[in-house]
Amino acid sequence: MGVVSLIPGISGGTILVLTKKYELIANAITHFKEKENRLTLAIFLLGIFMGCLSFARIIEFLFFFFPKETILFFCGFLCFSIPDFIKSENIKLSFGWFFLGALLIYFLSCFSTPTPVVILEYPKITLFFLIVFMLCGLLDGFFTILPGISGSMMMMLLGPYFLYKSYLANLSFKTLIFLIPLLFYFIGDLLGFFLGSRFSLYCIKKHHKSFMSFLLGMIIMSILVLIPFSSFTFDSLIPYAILLLTSFILYQFLNLMQ
């Protein structure tokens, strides 16, 4: 899940479903006061951290050399997941909530701070920065646990994704200070997991139609906002078509595993 959490477009819960561990982790988050569940969560979080560290350099490489292509690939993956999301959640569209979800994402994109895909200068680590970064981790965890929503995609939309990725990719003995913001981010992530699981459970039980329509609006608008339309040219049609085909094949492969 640590590897998947760095891939915008793939919901963090997807890997838990594929490995048939979603119920185990959801139960551990909900009832974390029990000793056995705390141990499960500790091992789970350690695995996420190790997965993030092992994959962050690969993601950094892709964004450094192929930034627009990488974003398009992940957007394509998310786009191809929509039909299965609608089918699996038995979504009966409520247009009002759908447009409200889309409007929320558009509103957030208008106020998001542009961030370079590869960080060369890191912000000064202050208490205010750490609190803000922890809140970013909270939002990441909150959105990750929601059905069909990619936490990384939301963080890319809002801005902190590339800084978080860069901290992980460049963590070494010479940059151990990066552990401080990463620790705050993971604390926020854990809190976001807890709040998101409680929130989604309540909404699914009480307001399933409205909630799923709202999420679908968020997903579709996220794709429209992030796709690099400005880079589309006649010469790029074939490479971009190959990218989308690759993302489609990968998504179908994950479906076969499930």
pLDDT in tens, the chain (258 residues): 777 777 766 666 666 665 667 667 777 777 777 888 888 888 888 888 888 888 888 888 888 888 888 888 878 877 887 887 787 767 788 889 999 988 988 887 777 666 666 777 888 999 999 999 999 899 888 887 776 677 777 787 777 888 888 888 888 888 889 999 999 998 998 898 888 878 877 887 888 888 888 888 888 888 888 787 777 777 778 888 888 888 888 878 877 765
- Block residue for tokens 């998504």: 251
Contact 101, 214 (CB under 8 A): yes
pLDDT of residue 67: 81
* Contact of 99 with 217, CB cutoff 8 Å: yes
User: So what's the pLDDT on residue 173?
Assistant: 83
Alpha-helical runs (H) found in 66-178: 67-88, 95-111, 127-145, 151-158, 161-169
Decide if 5 contacts 12 (C-beta within 8 A): yes
Measured between alpha carbons, how far is 160 from 154 in angstroms, rounded to an integer? 9
The rounded distance, in Å, linking the Cα atoms of 160 and 132 is: 10
CB atoms within 10 A of CB 53: 15
Closest CA to 26 of 140, 193, 185, 187: 193
- Give residue 121's pLDDT: 83
pTM as predicted: 0.73
| Dist CA 203 CA 209 (whole Å) | 9
Q: Encoding tokens for residue 42?
A: 């500790």
pLDDT, position 77: 78
The pLDDT of residue 184 = 94
Q: Which pLDDT value is given to residue 126?
A: 92
